Amino acid sequence: MLGLNQFGIILVFLLPGLVLGSTGEPGSAVDPSWVSILPPLVAIALALVTRQAHLALFVGVWLGAVMLNGGIISGLTTTLDTYIVESITDKGHASILVFTLAFGGLIGVISANGGMKGMVKMAARYATSNKRGQLATMAMGILIFFDDYANTLLVGNMMRPFTDSARISREKLSYLVDSTAAPVASLAVISTWSIFQMSLLDAPFAQFGITENPYFTFLKSIPYSFYCILTLVFMVMNILTAREFGPMHSAEQRARRTGEVLAPGAQPLSDPTLMAEGTKTGATHWSNALVPVLLVIVVTALGLFFTGKEALGPGSHSLREIIGEADPYATIIWSACLSGMAAILMTVTRRILSLNGAMEAWINGVRSMVMACVILVLAWTIGRICADMKTAEFLVGISADVLSPSLLPLITFLTAAAISFSTGSSWATMSILVPVVVPMAVQLMNIEANMVVHDPIFLSTFAAILSGSVFGDHCSPISDTTILSSTASCADHIDHVRTQMPYAVTVAVIAMLVGYAGIGLNLSLPVILLVSIALLAVLFQFYGRPVSD
């Protein structure tokens, strides 16, 4: 419940819209200016102050709609009947909502039929300590490299029961889940992320007559994705040294000493008690969970292959071409729904639950994801508000005045991080920046276009768009992948952001100052990576604190 103080805070945050929006006309355009960043900043600040992410997002959307439409009431009605509705009816968004709900249903069934308990028992034979539990979680995140959404929901839900028993805080679990989702998918040779990044290069390459295959450009840029690479290195050091710092240390200390994996007063985005309502069986065989989960992976992989083949038509095609033309949205829906059906069928035929009991468990699982879906819709909606307010154009305009070839990778990283943090979408950030920054890099470097794509400055600039997008995404409470990480881990969303941010910022600072600044100073790639890893090791040795039992 909101207290009077929090209600007053909300009114204060709405004041800019009341002042700036009252002078406009309905539907009037907004030129890129400092006003453009107010809606996302208000949403982020309000989320951190009130710990009510859904309310903060709604206020941010309403504020933007007021500024765009020139009135409080018209802003509210436009928010409800236009912005939110369009966010839901977008094909990609609707597909993710169906996937999330259906996946919740699957988790509900395999929780009720004892499969999750069986998985925990099986994992407990190998991951016999807190450290091994964290390593197992990270390893699972790396193995599911083909899509960040599938990665997040699978790893968080599958590992949560075990990490709870190993006294790993939900804050740490959500960090492990979030930090092996986008970074792994973006570095993978073939994934939905890598294909998307390559597709963005087609237009700029055609514009300048660059003949190199965008796929090879992407492959050469992977070693320059410093934030993503160093995030994985940071996680390994963090787990092996068993040292934490910042609010994560407090969270891990609490979980280790008391067994309380959630902080007092925490508000998890999904409600595992709804899934537990259907758990009325003593069965605990691991196959009740593992078979449906493996089916998710198999159906997703096959779906990407066959939808890509169908789109390309007859003939011989490379795997890159096939994945590039695949329909990932249809594929993830098929995987979640078919796996849910398989889980229900196994549960009933093995006489673990009746059909009514299995369906009740599925529905409880769907219900557990409703709040997460509400926040996802609002996060997408504020992204649409940012597009109409030209938030990204304003941030790009600020950075364009200070660009030079040597500073290009560093400024690009900062710009991508700012846009991703403000809009909550790494893919939207990449879509905005690649068509702007790639041509800018070609022109600034003033050498033949086909030679530019081999230059470390160009490759690191392209990689900086990706790395900066992922970094901003990791720090933003309005990011869809951050929200899904909190959901899958049953963590309090603001606690997840609050504990993850110091780790993400630490890695980003090293990626910027050693990585992208180092490229501008003509340092070699091996030197940059070795110095960065050495700095992380020193950080854990002298700043990290061990977690005591």
Q: Dihedral of the CA atoms 233, 239, 245, 246 (nearest 10)?
A: 90
Written as one letter, the residue type at 446 is N
pLDDT of residue 168: 92
User: Would you give the distance in Å from CA 404 to the centre of its chain?
Assistant: 31
In DSSP terms, which residues pair with 268 in a beta bridge?
Answer: 492
pLDDT of residue 21: 52
pLDDT of residue 74: 83
114 within 8 A of 283, measured Cβ to Cβ? yes
DSSP string, 491-525: -BHHHHHHHHHHHHHHHHHHIIIIIIHHHHTT--H
DSSP string, 281-332: -----THHHHHHHHHHHHHHHHHHHHHHHHHH-SS---HHHHHHT--HHHHH
212 within 8 A of 515, measured Cβ to Cβ? no
For residue 455, what are its two tokens? 């230059």
**Global pTM value:** 0.71
Q: Tens of pLDDT along the chain (549 residues)?
A: 455 455 555 555 555 555 555 444 444 456 667 777 788 778 777 766 776 767 877 888 888 888 888 778 888 888 888 889 988 888 878 887 888 788 888 878 887 888 877 776 776 677 668 888 899 889 888 877 766 776 787 788 778 888 888 899 999 999 999 999 889 888 987 666 776 777 677 777 877 788 877 777 888 899 999 999 999 999 999 999 999 999 999 999 999 998 898 888 888 876 555 555 445 555 667 788 888 888 888 888 898 888 888 888 888 887 777 877 788 778 888 988 999 999 999 999 988 888 999 999 899 888 877 876 887 788 778 778 877 887 767 766 766 666 678 888 998 999 889 888 887 778 777 877 777 778 778 777 777 878 888 889 999 999 999 999 999 999 988 888 888 888 888 899 889 999 999 999 999 999 999 999 999 999 999 999 999 999 999 999 999 899 876
Q: CA–CA distance from 407 to each of 105, 143, 240, 441, 460 (Å)? A: 49, 35, 35, 11, 11
pLDDT of residue 27: 43
